[in-house]
Chain A
Amino acid sequence: MKMSFISRKTASNLFRPKFYFPLALLLLLLVLPILPRNPFYEDLIIMIFFWGALAAAWNLVGGFAGQISLGHTAFFGIGAYTSTLLYLKFSLSPWLGMLAGAGLAVLVAMGIGSPCFRLKSHFFALATIAFAEVLRHVASYWRGLTQGGVGLLIPFKPRIENFMFRSKIPYAYIALGLMLLIILVSYIIRNSRFGFYLISLREDQDAAESLGVKTSRCKLIALVISVLFTAIAGTFYAQYLLFIDPDTVFSLPFSIELPLLAIIGGLGTVIGPIIGAFILTPLDVLLRGWLGAISAGLNFIVYGTVLVVAVIYFPRGIAGWLRTWYESFLRRLPGAKLSLAIEKTVSSPLLTSETSDPEDSDPEDEEIKSPLFEAQSLNKHFGGLAAVKDVSFQIKKGEILGLIGPNGAGKTTVFNLITGFLSPDSGKIEFKGEAMTAVKPPHKVCIKHIGRTFQLVRPFNNMTVLENVMVGAFSRVKRTKEAREEATKVLDFIGLLEHSHSLASSLTIADRKKLELGRALATRPELLLLDEVVAGLNPRETEAIIGIIKAISNQGITLFIIEHVMKAIMTLSHRIIVLHHGEKIGEGTPAEISRDRRVIDAYLGEEYLA
C-alpha cells in the first residue's frame, strides 16, 4: 500500500517544475560533452566540470563546516603524484593509482587534521597553507622520486586501463561523473544529520557541542570526504594533461581558486560551487586569452579583485540571490499550481501535532529522596582567582533549583563545570549515581541527558528556527524526518511554530531565548541548566518564558536556573543556593533565602527585605 502511494506521488512529481526543471538541466549536462565540435570548447567543458567538482569538494569542509582550508592543493598533488608514480614505476593502472592516491590523501588528512582543527579559523587557514608549501618543497627536493622541478611526463598510450583516451569525450564524461557524484554527496550530507551538525558547528561550535555534536569528529569526517574527492581530481588532472610538476599541482593559487569559485557561486550551498565554476571558468579562459596575451599576471589581478569585492559586498554569492529568482521562475512554469497544492498537504500535519512531552518519565514521581545530581567540593581557579571554592550541592529529581549571586560570583563557571566546558581542579560531580567528573567534551554531557542554555544567546544564525531545534533533536534520532517531527513538537510547545522557517538571526531577543530553550529541550534532557533566560526581557516576555519553564518542569524535567530577576527566581524555584566570591553562602527555600542576613548583605540588599 505504501509502495503505491510513493509511485503515485512520484508520477505527479514529474509534472512539477521543482522536479522536471532540474531534470532538464541534468539532461543538458549529459549531452554537453558531445555538443562541441572543436577542441577549444571540449577542453573548456572539461575544465568547467573539473573545477566544479573540486570547488564542490572544497565546499564540504570550507562551506558546510566553515573550516577554511587554503591547502587543498596538497591533497590534489598527493593524488596526482601517487597515481603517476605508481604508473611510471610499477605500471599500475592509474585507476587503481587513483584509489591509492585517495587513500593516501585521506591518511594524511587524518594525521594533519586533528592538530590543525584545534586552531581558530585564521590559524587553521595558515596551517593548511604551510602544510601545502612544505609538500611543494618536498616534491621539488626529492628528485630521486619526483624528478623535482623538471616534473613527470606520462607517455601517451591510449587505453582504457591506462586512463588515457584519444578523444576528449571520455575525459569529459569522467569529469562530469565526478562532479555529479560530489553534488549528490553534498546533497545527501546537506539533508542529513551530519550536514546539520556541520552547519551548526560552523555557526557556533560551543552551542553545537552543548547539543551533543561531536564537533572534532564531524570536522574530520568532512575533511576526509573533501580530501578524497580532491585527490581523485588530482589523478584525473595528471591523466588529462599527462604532465605534472610541483609548481602546478602544489600551488597556492590553486588552493585559493577553489574557495573563490565556491564563494562567488554561493558558499555552503549544494549547487553554489558548480554555479561558480560555470561562470568563472569560461571567464578565466577568456581572461587568460585576452589579458595573458598583454601580460602575465593580469588575469590574477582581475581574479583577486573579484574575490575582494565579492567577499566585501556579496558574501552570499550568486546562489543566494538566484534562489529567490529561481523560485519565482519555477512558479511561472507549467505545472506550478499542482506543486503548490502538494506542498500545502505536506505541511499541514505540522500544525495539528499536539503537545506531547519530549521526556517520557512520569511526573508523579514526587518522592524527592535520592538526589538526581550531586556536586561535592567543586573547585576551579583561573590563575590566582578562585572562581568556585569548595561548592557542594544536590539537585533532587523534579525540582527547580535556583542559583543566585552577584556578578562574578562564579555562577556560570558552575554551569560550565557541570556541562564539561570546564573541568574542575578538584571535586566530584555525580548524575543519576554516575560519576560525571571525567565526562569532558560537552557533547558527551549532552548525551547523558544534561542540557544547557547560554547566558548570551547563541542561536545558529544562518539556520532557520526549525533547523536550529533539529540540531538538538538529532542527538536522539538519526533520521531527518524524525528530527523534523520532533523539532516541530518542541516548537509548538515553546510557541515558536509560526517562525519555523524564519532565520534565527531574524528573531527578537525574547524569541531567541525561547529558541535556545527549545534547542536544549530537543536533546531530551533530564536535567536542564538555564543561564539567565529572562534577563533583559520586558515583563510580558518574562511572563511568557516563566510559563514555558513551569511547563517544562511539569513534564518532569529537573531544572537548575541562574537568574538575576528576583521575581522570576523566587516564584519558580523550590530551593535556591547563593554564591558569593565563588563560595556558597546560603541555601534554602525562597522564603528562607530572602531573610538570610548574609545573602541580603552580599546580594539582595536592604531594599529587598523592605
Chain B
Amino acid sequence: MLTIVIQLIINGLLLGGIYALISIGLTLIFGVLEIINFAHGEFLMLSMYASYWLFQLLGVDPYLSLLVVIPMFFLIGLVVQRIIIQPIIHAPPLNQIFVTVGLSLILQNVALFFWKADYRTVRTAYSTLCLKTSGLMISFPRLVAFLLALAIISILLIFLKRTYTGKAIRALAQERRAAMLMGINIYGTYRIAFGIGIACVGAAGAMLMPIYYAFPTVGALFVLIAFVVVVLGGYNSLVGALIGGLIIGIVEAFSGFFLSPHLKEAVYFVIFILILVFRPTGLFGRG
C-alpha cells in the first residue's frame, strides 16, 4: 500500500510539473494584463503540433524542439497580443472574455481544418522507458518533462526578480497606474508578459508530446486544469501556481487510482467550488 501511495505521489508530482508550467503562463498573463486567456489551451495544442511536425518532417527530438518552439511561441505571443489583445486591454470584461473565446474557437478549428481530428503521437526510443527502483516505476519522459518544467520555471522566476523587464512586469502586475507613472512602457511590457506566458505554454506542449497525443481539442483538457490551478494558487502568484500545479497533479493521480480516471474532471471541479466558497483568494493569494 505504501509503495502504491509513494508511486501515486511520484506520478502526480511528475504530471504536476507540466500543469504548473501551463498555469504559470496563464497566471502571468492574468496578473499583468488582467485578462484570462481562454485560448491558452489552444496554444498548448499548437505547440504540440509544432513539436510533432518538427519530429515527423525534420526528425527533431521533442526535447530538442524546445529550442525552436520556445522562441517561436514567444513571437506568436507578441503578435497575438499586438493584434488581438491590445485593442481590448481596457475594454469591459465581456469583450475581453469573448475575444479570447473567439480566438480559441478559431485556433481549434484551424487545427481541425489542417490536421483533421486524428490523434497523433510521437514515438521516440525513450517514450516507454521506465526507471525502476525498489518497486517504484518512474517514467523517463515524465521525469524529463518534470525537471525541464522546474528548470524553465526557475529561470522565469529569476528573470522576473533580477532583470529590469522582469521588475517592470512585476510592478505592472501589482499596480498598473503606479507602474505607468514610474515611466514603465506598459504596452511593451504587456506584450512581453503575454509573449512569455505563451512561450511557457508552448514549452509545456513540446514536453507533453512524447507522453501524450495531439488533437485539435486537446487544449480544452489541459486548460481546465490550468484554470483550477490558477484559482488554487491565488490568481496572481507564480509560486502559488507552481505549488497548485503539483497539488492538482497529485489529486489527479489519486482520484484516477481510487475513483476512476473518467471522474478526475469532476474532482477538479469540486475542488474548484470548495476553494471558491471557503477561500476565494486561493490557497496562496493575498487578502
The interface of chain A, by Cβ under 8 A from chain B, is 66, 68, 70, 112, 115-116, 118-123, 125-127, 129-131, 133-134, 137-138, 140-141, 252-253, 256, 259-260, 263, 267, 295-298, 300-301, 303-308, 311-312, 315, 383
* Given known contacts A115-B273, A123-B231, A256-B105, A311 and B99 CB-to-CB distance under 8 angstroms: yes
Contacting pair B272 A127 (CB below 8 A): yes
With contacts A134-B266, A305-B102, A305-B106 taken as known, whether A125 is within 8 angstroms of B276 at the C-beta atoms is no
Asked if B265 contacts A133 (CB within 8 A), the reply is yes
In the complex, the chain B residue whose C-beta lies closest to that of A138 is B266
Known: A115-B273, A118-B276, A131-B269. A137 touches B262 (CB 8 A): yes
Is A122 within 8 A of B97, CB to CB? yes
Contact B102 A308 (CB under 8 A): yes
Judged by DSSP, the binding face of A is helix
Set of chain B residues within 8 Å of A129, measured between Cβ atoms: 224, 227
Q: How many residues of B contact A (CB 8 A)?
A: 49
Distance, CA A498 to CA B112, complexed state (A): 57
Most buried by B among A122, A303, A383: A122
Min C-beta distance of A138 to chain B, whole Å = 6
A120 to B99, CA, bound (A): 17
Q: Are A304 and B276 in contact (CB under 8 A)?
A: no
Taking a contact as CB atoms under 8 Å apart, the answer to whether A253 and B105 are in contact is: yes
- Interface core residue of B104, B106, B220 (most chain A CB under 10 Å): B106
Q: What are 18 A-B pairs with beta-carbon distances under 8 A?
A: A68-B97, A70-B101, A115-B276, A130-B224, A130-B268, A133-B265, A141-B262, A295-B113, A297-B113, A301-B109, A305-B102, A305-B106, A306-B102, A307-B101, A307-B105, A308-B98, A311-B95, A312-B95
Residues of B within 8 A of A (CB): 30, 35-36, 38, 84, 87-88, 91-99, 101-106, 108-113, 116-117, 216, 220, 224, 227-228, 231, 260, 262-263, 265-266, 268-269, 272-273, 276-277, 280, 287
Neighbouring B residues of A267 by C-beta, 8 Å: 94
CB distance from A343 to the nearest CB of B (A): 33
- When chains A and B are docked, how far (Å) is the Cα of A312 from the Cα of B95? 7
The answer to whether B231 and A122 have CB atoms under 8 Å apart is no
The answer to whether A298 and B84 touch across the interface, beta carbons within 8 angstroms, is no
Whether B97 contacts A116 by the Cβ 8 Å rule is no
Find the A residue at minimum CB distance from B286.
A383
Query: How far is it, in angstroms, between the C-alpha of A126 and the C-alpha of B35 when the chains are bound?
Result: 12
Nearest B residue to A253, CB-CB:
B105
Minimal beta-carbon separation of A547 from chain B (angstroms): 34
B116 neighbours in A (Cβ, 8 Å): 296
A122, closest chain B residue (CB): B36
B23 → chain A closest CB, angstroms: 13
Min Cβ gap B100→A in Å is: 9
Known interface pairs A115-B277, A134-B266; 18 further A-B residue pairs with C-beta atoms within 8 A, sorted by A's residue number: A116-B276, A125-B38, A130-B268, A131-B269, A133-B265, A133-B269, A137-B263, A138-B263, A297-B108, A297-B109, A297-B110, A298-B109, A298-B113, A308-B102, A308-B106, A311-B88, A311-B102, A315-B92
